[in-house]
Amino acid sequence: MVYWVAVLIYGLDQGIKWLVRTHMALNQTIPVIPGVLEIDYIRNPGAAWGILPGARWFLILMALAVIGVVLYIERTKHLNTWFRMGLGLVLGGALGNLTDRVITGRVVDYVYVQAIHFPVFNLADASIDAGVIAILIGSWWTDRHRKARPPKDVKR
């Protein structure tokens, strides 16, 4: 499941970014829901919210570290569905933004929630966030069920 989710997210992310790059001018805005949601084509040289501009190689190394940790966890741990889904979302998102950073040095961002003035982001960013939430749910679920059952070596 982890790899299927990652491939789906990666493909969608790169496909949407390609559409934005080829059908919009840089800094162009297209209202989707006026006053609420826009498609804004920007190229972010940093991390989330534009922090760490110019830290391309650091961000590439961080993405590679995240990918390595995801692969290690997936291969060595027994995981529930929430956790596996979360790992796939994080992996796909990390690969999507990593691809942009390696090829152009900047990440294509395009979703702007104007209603709350949230910084412009992309599908890869949203997938990483959703993946972390799913991993937290998966961890909570595992801990909750582990505490609810007595260990196997305890006799009643």
Instruction: Point out the residues that are catalytic.
Output: 109, 125
For CA atoms 19, 113, 49, 131, give the dihedral sign: negative
Which long-range contacts does 12-17 make (Cβ < 8 Å, 24+ apart)?
12/123, 13/92, 13/93, 13/96, 13/122, 13/123, 13/124, 13/127, 14/96, 14/99, 16/110, 16/122, 16/123, 17/96, 17/100, 17/108, 17/110, 17/122
Round to whole Å and give the CA distance between 91 and 32. Answer: 28
